[in-house]
Amino acid sequence: MKDYVILTDSCSDLPAGLVEELGLSVLPLSFVMEGKEYFNYPDNRDIDPKDFYNKMRAGALGTTSAINVAVFTETMTELVKQGKDILCIAFSSGLSTTYQSACIAAGDVMSAHPDCRILVCDSRAASLGQGMLVYLAALEKRKGKSLEELRDFVEERKDHICHWFTVDDLNHLKRGGRVSAAAALFGTMLQMKPVLHVDDAGHLIPVSKVRGRKASIAALLAKMEELVEDPSVVFISHGDCFDEVQALGDAIKAKFKVDKLVINYVGPVIGNHTGAGVVALFFQGKHK
């Protein structure tokens, strides 16, 4: 069986050590802040996440860019020339054009190299939800699944990766059109915190509002208690609020048998839209 590689993008927010351990290929998305372009590499070589979130707290705003077809084409071609087939697991098509670019590039590369196979999956996931899907896929690859078998696994499992999160500042969601200006103003005045999730189509959906930060984080744990199917793997990403997510992780481990808990920053591309203080919980549930 021909060897293949799992290719994904940096919106998976996987830590660099895990990327290396799993033998993944990760393409960085980019963003511009204060007139400078940065690339969102897993090892944070361009900008430290703390620096990024400190800039946001000081009022800096960025603009983000998806990975274009040319970048995917170049990377896929390099991998194909190394004798590899490719399974690409891309950032949700409901939030970015990255998946569409990967599909176009895959078609172009397979036309130029008819002996290769490139399969592209729309993760319909974001941040460490996408990262968890990639992680689970990498474990299945180690078990010997073929390229097509792993594609089928990803397509089935992505409907069970639950994304639940809350933000600390409604104004970033206002900028992205997720809440109205009036809702952001009154919500901020009343210390209302939204609880959101990513739906089956990979879109960001506000679900409820609770009063206060502690209550909003507790709501994430309550959603896990309601929906969890397999608690063995739990991922948590955050916008520079490690102590709070560490406490959340401890609470989860006290309630469930967790074998693998991964905590990492929400990268700057997604963090640009959610702001400092975002807390996102990911687990395998009965449904998304």
Q: pLDDT (tens digit, 9 = 90+) per residue, 51-63?
A: 999 999 998 988 8
- pLDDT at residue 90, rounded to an integer: 98
Token pair in block for residue 205: 């959906």
Q: pLDDT (tens digit, 9 = 90+) per residue, 206-254?
A: 778 888 889 999 999 999 999 999 999 999 999 999 999 999 999 999 9
Cα 270 to Cα 7, 11, 104, 232: the distances in Å are 19, 7, 23, 26
CB atoms within 10 A of CB 217: 23
Over residues 115-129, the mean pLDDT reads 97
Final residue in a domain of this structure, among 116, 140, 159: 159
Q: Are 7 and 19 in contact (CB under 8 A)?
A: no
Q: Which of 195, 273, 276, 278 is nearest to 237 (CA)?
A: 278
- pLDDT at residue 175, rounded to an integer: 54
Final residue in a domain of this structure, among 126, 159, 192: 159
Final residue in a domain of this structure, among 159, 176, 195: 159
- Domain with 93 in it: what CATH number? 3.40.50.10170
Per the prediction, the chain carries an average pLDDT of 91
Residues 116 and 232 in one domain: no
- Domain with 237 in it: what CATH number? 3.30.1180.10
Rounded-to-integer distance, Cα 22 and Cα 2, Å: 18
Axis-axis angle for helices 213-227, 242-255 (nearest 10): 30
- pLDDT at residue 207, rounded to an integer: 75
Indicate the pLDDT class of residue 192, thresholds 50, 70 and 90: low
Q: In what order do the strands lie in the sheet with 25-27?
A: 25-27, 4-9, 85-90, 118-122
Over residues 33-47, the mean pLDDT reads 96
Q: How many domains does the chain have?
A: 2
Q: pLDDT (tens digit, 9 = 90+) per residue, 252-282?
A: 999 999 999 999 999 999 998 888 999 999 9
Residues 135 and 42 in one domain: yes
Residues 84 and 203 in one domain: no
Give the domain extent around 36. 4-159
